[in-house]
Structure 1
Amino acid sequence: MRVKMGTVVHLVEEPTDYRTAIAMALHEELDDTHRAIKTAMRWTGASERTVKYWFSGERGPSGDHLIALARHSDAVLYVVLALAGRHIVEEADD
């Protein structure tokens, strides 16, 4: 579990495989509907087939698409940081 500014991202386990990790993050953030695919397409400008590959874990986003996903999705950002060994937890100010 990762916490940042009140946002909680629940991942049952932290996968080490990039494609699986991104798929899990997308499912966590957007669920598993056609609307979720359309949302990811809008965020990234990627084709429907490409986004479906990401959701299935068959392929992972690269470059500009990954940055666009991280810009819009806390879950994707946290997974990328976790895979890089860079866990960020902000403490609340008193």
Structure 2
Amino acid sequence: MRIKMGTVVPKMGTFVHLDAPQTDYRRAIAMALHEELGSTHRAIKSAMRWTGASERTVKYWFAGERGPSGDHLIALARNSDVVLYVFLALADRHAEEEGG
């Protein structure tokens, strides 16, 4: 008789504490995507077409667990006025916080 083995990841290691600006960025982009595209599977497919990102990656963006970077962010801003506006607002806020 064969014993079924699970795939349980042990809870060991280093905890990564997320800083506020990264969390704000991810949440802001998620809200922008929901505002522009809605919350349907069709919305995810649209973002996938815009960016060439995988479905799982785009789902992370919509959930606010991760944020797009580099080419993906540029593609989103090119196709979504809401994402572009949010990105520029975050940039302005960051500049104000830095005193510039």
TM-score between the two structures when normalised by the length of structure 2:
0.69
Equivalent of 1:80, from 80, 87, 90?
A: 87
TM-score between the two structures when normalised by the length of structure 1:
0.74
Q: Residue deviations 1:27-57, cap 9 Å, x none?
A: 0000000000000000000000000000000
Q: By percentage of residues, which structure has more strand?
A: 1
Measure, in 1, the Cα distance between the counterparts of 2:87 and 2:37.
Answer: 17
Aligned to 2:74: 67
| Structure 1 position 56 matched with structure 2 position 63 | yes
Q: Secondary structure at the match of 1:41?
A: helix
State which structure, 1 or 2, has the greater radius of gyration over its C-alpha atoms. 2
Aligned length: 71
Q: By percentage of residues, which structure has more helix?
A: 2
Q: Percent identity among equivalent residues?
A: 87
Q: Which runs of 4+ in 1 moved over 2 A?
A: none
**Larger RCO: 1 or 2 (CA < 8 Å, sep 6+):** 1
Measure, in 1, the Cα distance between the counterparts of 2:60 and 2:72.
Answer: 13
